[in-house]
Amino acid sequence: MAAKLSGGGGGRYAIEQNSEINVTPFVDIMLVLLIIFMVAAPLATVSVEVKLPVAVAPMQPNPPKPFYVSIQANSRVYIGDDEVDIDNVGGELLNLIGNKTPSDERIFIRADQTTRYGDFMQVMNSLQDSGFYSVALVGEDQSS
């Protein structure tokens, strides 16, 4: 018997590259996983019989109109679109909420990134002195 070890031209014994995908290992793995899940699925279910009560959630009222307090870099303070005195932010909000409880209201604070910390704390103190304890700080979403 003779074999051709080297040489050019390909000829009868040239090995060409096979570009087809061999799916046999993939099918084998999928069948094994299918069997594992078929065996494990009955174990994951609860076999204790319980008659659950019907849950009927009451209609939720519309959330109240949010109050936005905006603090500009030049120390101007706004409630919504109306400018207010920085020392009287809490009092103005008390007038706006009417007969509601201040501690139940959430106040959203929007402040310029160059706002003085003292101005921010002055607004926070005015809110707390008036009974507004639920405060949320608004920031800009970072775009991807």
pLDDT digits (tens, 9 = 90+) for 76-117: 999 988 899 988 899 999 998 888 888 888 888 888 888 899
Q: 86 with 123: CB under 8 angstroms? A: yes
Is the model more confident about 34 or about 139?
Answer: 34
Mean pLDDT of 16-38: 86
Q: Could you say which DSSP state residue 74 is in?
A: T
Q: What is the DSSP string of 18-37?
A: P-S---HHHHHHHHHHHHHH
The residues near 72 (Cβ < 8 Å, ≥ 6 apart) are: 78, 112, 115
Average pLDDT, the chain: 80
Helix (H, G, I), strand (E, B) or coil at 91: helix
pLDDT tens-digit series, residues 48-84: 555 556 667 676 676 677 888 999 989 899 998 889 9
Is the model more confident about 24 or about 3?
Answer: 24
Look at residue 10 and tell me whether its pLDDT is greater than 70: no
